């Protein structure tokens, strides 16, 4: 059951992210998209592995660290340094560092931490 809920959540968030990418402007594209991408990654991971890990905070923390790493790779200019020219890949990786994105990632991780905690508490 949990796998199905996370799978549906992933598909819904993925659809929203595509719509934001196509039509979003201003804060919707710049901030809401970054907030939702953390929840998207969390839902994707939990679709594949719905059972909680030993510590309830491990998965959201790993996703947050991953997102920070990608953001700092943008600061380093990873796409240009690796000569990535594929437009879709450049959009997925990102090409511009912003400290505001880091704040959005933290905000987006809060529902993931809450979800993880509640799943863990429910399975005890």
pLDDT at 68: 97
Q: What is the pLDDT of residue 94?
A: 86
Predicted confidence at residue 14, as pLDDT, reads 94
Per-residue DSSP letters for the chain?
Answer: -HHHHHHHHHHHHHHHHHHHHHH--HHIIIIIHHHHHHHHHHHHHHHH--S--SSTTHHHHHHHHHHHHHHHHHHHTHHHHTT---HHHHHHH-S---HHHHHHHHHHHHHHHHHHHHHHHHT-
What is the Cα 107 distance to its own chain's centre?
11
Determine phi and psi for 39, rounding to 5 degrees. -65, -35
pLDDT 10s per residue in the chain (124 long)?
688 999 999 999 999 999 998 898 999 988 999 999 999 999 999 999 877 667 788 899 999 999 999 999 999 999 999 999 998 888 888 888 999 999 999 999 999 999 988 888 777 6
Give residue limits of the domains in the chain: 2-122
pLDDT at residue number 26: 92
pLDDT score recorded for residue 117 = 87
Q: What was the pLDDT predicted at 51?
A: 73
What is the per-residue pLDDT for 106?
98
């Amino acid at each position: 059951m949990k796998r199905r809920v996370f799978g549906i959540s992933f598909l819904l968030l993925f659809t929203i992210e595509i719509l934001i990418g196509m039509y979003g402007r201003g804060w919707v594209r710049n901030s809401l998209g970054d907030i939702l991408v953390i929840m998207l990654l969390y839902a994707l991971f939990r679709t594949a592995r719905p059972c909680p890990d030993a510590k309830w905070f491990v998965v959201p923390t790993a996703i947050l660290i991953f997102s920070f790493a990608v953001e700092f790779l943008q600061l380093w200019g990873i796409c240009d340094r690796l000569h990535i020219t594929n437009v879709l890949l450049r959009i997925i990786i990102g090409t511009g560092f912003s400290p505001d994105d880091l704040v959005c990632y933290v905000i987006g991780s809060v529902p993931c931490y809450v979800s993880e905690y509640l799943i863990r508490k429910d399975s005890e």
